Amino acid sequence: MPKKFFKRWMPDNEKLRAHPHLNKVFGKLLHDPNLLHLNRRSVSGAFFVGLFMAFVPFPTQMIFAAGVAIWLRVNLPISVGLVWITNPITIPPMFYFAYKVGAWTLNSPLTDWHFELSWEWLSTELASKWEPFLLGCLICALVSGTTGFLLMRLIWRIAIGLQWVARKKHRCSNNNQS
């Protein structure tokens, strides 16, 4: 079942609530028990938030993901953890793909783009390409978040259905033995 899978990787409730950086930013909001629940709603919502925030082109993605997870009352660790899909290795291809999607949507020509995480690149290169880039990031964020949400709901439903079938077989075999 998905709940057992996620429970293995979840941090301890007290450690999360005592984390100094999270406590400084979110304070008593961290004491909401829904932020650590593992059910179909909280996990699928966390997948939406985490995958959506992975395409936010700002360095504070984790804080945004935590804030939205707290606001929507979905699983906080999963939301924040999924943001790490974007890392120094995956950022260039993901953001170039987002730029291509935005340019295709706006019907604007593609230009050479060499991504570099520096202030100089942001002020020169991104200045001329910000519209297709940000539109592409928004589209990719919505598509990946929605896909993650729906897939998690489907996987959870299938796992519960299989669990019910296994229980029914187990009950029938116990009744036949007695």
The closest alpha carbon to 25, from 70, 58, 55, 56, belongs to 70
Q: Give residue-wise pLDDT tens across range 74-94.
A: 998 899 999 999 988 998 889
State how far the alpha carbon of 58 is from the alpha carbons of 24, 62, 64, 74, 139, in Å: 21, 10, 10, 22, 16
Q: What is the DSSP letter of 27?
A: G
Helix ranges restricted to H, 10-87: 13-17, 20-26, 40-54, 61-72, 76-82
pTM of the model: 0.76
Query: What whole-number percentage of the chain has pLDDT above 90?
Result: 33
Per-residue model confidence (pLDDT) at position 149: 96
Residue 178's pLDDT band (cuts 50, 70, 90): low
The closest alpha carbon to 94, from 54, 151, 124, belongs to 54
Per the structure, the count of domains in the chain is 1
Q: Which of 11-15, 68-72, 168-172 has the highest mean pLDDT?
A: 68-72
> Who wins on pLDDT, 149 or 175?
149
Strand, coil or helix: what is 88?
Answer: coil
Residue 170, both tokens: 């187990």
> Is the confidence at residue 24, as pLDDT, over 90?
no
Is 32 in contact with 70 (CB distance < 8 Å)?
Answer: yes
Residue 42, both tokens: 């909280």
Domain range enclosing 63 = 2-177
Q: Give residue-wise pLDDT tens across range 36-45.
A: 778 889 999 9
> Who wins on pLDDT, 36 or 121?
36
Q: What residue type is 107 in one-letter code?
A: N
Is 169 in contact with 12 (CB distance < 8 Å)?
Answer: no
Per-residue model confidence (pLDDT) at position 122: 66
